[in-house]
Amino acid sequence: MGTISEKIFSRAAGKEVKANDFVLADVDYAMAHDGTSILAVNAFKEMEMERVWDPSRIVIPFDHIAPANTETSATLQKEIREWVREQSIPNFYEIGEGICHQVLPENGFALPGKLLVGADSHSCTYGAFGAFATGVGATDMAEIFATGKLWFKVPESFRMTVEGSLDKHVYAKDLTLYLIGKTGIAGATYKAVEFYGQAISELSVAGRMTLCNMAIEMGAKTGIVPPDEKTFDFLKNRAVAPYEPVYSDPDASYLKEFVYDAGDIEPQVACPHQVDNVKPVGEVEGTHVDQVFIGTCTNGRLEDLEVAASVLKGKKVTVRTIIIPASRSTLLAAIKNGTMEILLKAGVTLATPGCGPCLGAHQGVLGEGEVCVSTANRNFKGRMGKDGFIYLASPATAAASALTGEITDPRKI
C-alpha cells in the first residue's frame, strides 16, 4: 500500500499517513553547515529558546567557506563554534573534515528508514541510503533545533527505472544528468523520486549519492535508492543508531512511472546556464575551457578521484585544474592508494576538503567570460563568478578536458 516516503513519514508522525497529508514529524537527524547554521542559530535565539532538543541529533560541519575567506566569515564561524560549545553539541566537524553531505554518511548518520533534514538543498543526498532526506530553510531548522519536529506535506512519488547496464566510461554523473535532461528542472517538483533497475543496483554507494544529490535539480523533494547489501556493507561499523530498512509495497501508488535504457546513455554535459540543458558530450566537444574543477558533494569521493587519476596518469593538464576531495578521510585514502600522487604529478592543484569554488566564494572562482568544466551540481549564471560559464560533467569528462583544454569525450583518451 505504501511508498518508502509514506512509510517513513508514518513512523515519524506516529500514525499512518498518505501522500498529500500534512504531518508534524519527528526528525531523526538535523544538519546545518557554516553557511546556514548562523541563520538558524540567530532564529533559535530570537525564539528565546535556551537548549536544543537533543544535541546528539544535530550535526554542524564547516565546509562552505572553509577556511574563512574574510574577517566577516571568520567572525560568523567563531559565533557558531561558541554556540556549539554552549549547547554541548558533540557532532561538530571543523574546517578540513569535509563537505556536510560526505561527512554525515561517513560518520553513520545517513541511515535507512530515517528522516534527515538539512539546512542545505542538497541534503537529498542521504536518500542514497534509503532515508527520506530533504533541505529546509534556516528558520525551519531553528524550529527543529528547538523541538525536534517539523511539519511536512507528504510528497507524491515518482518511480524511475533504468534497465540494463551503463557502458564503459559512462558514469553515475552521466546517468544523473541524462535523467535530469529528460525530466526538466521542474519536472519532479515536490515529488519523492524512487530509483530502480539494474543500472541503479549496479551503482556503487558513491554513485548512488551522486544520483540522489542531484534529485533537487529536477525539483524533487528527495531522491531515494532502496537499501541493499551495498548499503548495509557501507554502514557496517559506521551506523550511529539501529535502523530498519523501508521498502515500497508492490501495490504502492506512484503518480508517474518512467523506464529508461542504460544503453542509450553516453557521456553527458549540462551546458550553461541550466542543469537540464543537457547534451551528449559530442555536441559540445571542442568548447574552449579555462578551468577544470573536480570535487564537491556530487563528485568528490574516492572513486571520483580514482576515475580522474585513471585519465590523467602519466600525463599533464594543460589548463588550471583544481581538485578538492569531499572529506579528510577521502583525501587520506587517495594518498594511501597512490591516487593523489598521480593527480599531483599531472599538475592539478589540491585544496582543503570542502565545497571550494562551487558556491563562488573562494578557491577558484571564475573571471569574466571564463569557462569551467565542473563536477558540481549547479551551473547557474553567477554560481562560480558573475560572468563565468559552467559545464557540468563527470570526473572522467572533466579530467579529459583538463588534458586538452577543451571539452573532450573521455572515451577518446
* 175/181 Cα distance (integer angstroms): 10
Give dist(CA 373, CA 350) in Å, integer. Answer: 16
For the chain, state the CA radius of gyration.
20
The residues, ordered by sequence, that sit 6+ positions from 206 with a Cβ below 8 Å of its Cβ are 172, 301, 302, 303, 304
Map residue 140 onto helix, strand or coil.
helix
> 235 with 111: CB under 8 angstroms?
yes
Does 297 carry a binding-site annotation? yes
Pairing relationship of beta strands 278-280 and 268-270 according to DSSP bridges: antiparallel
The C-alpha cell that represents 387 in the structure block? 560572468
Name 29's bridge partners.
Answer: 116
Residue 355 marked as a ligand binder? yes
**Distance of alpha carbon 112 from alpha carbon 235, whole angstroms:** 10
Instruction: State the pairing for strand pair 149-153/157-163.
Output: unpaired
Q: Annotation-wise, does 212 bind a ligand? A: no
- Known binding residues are 297, 355, 358
User: Per the annotation, where are the binding residues for [4Fe-4S] cluster?
Assistant: 297, 355, 358
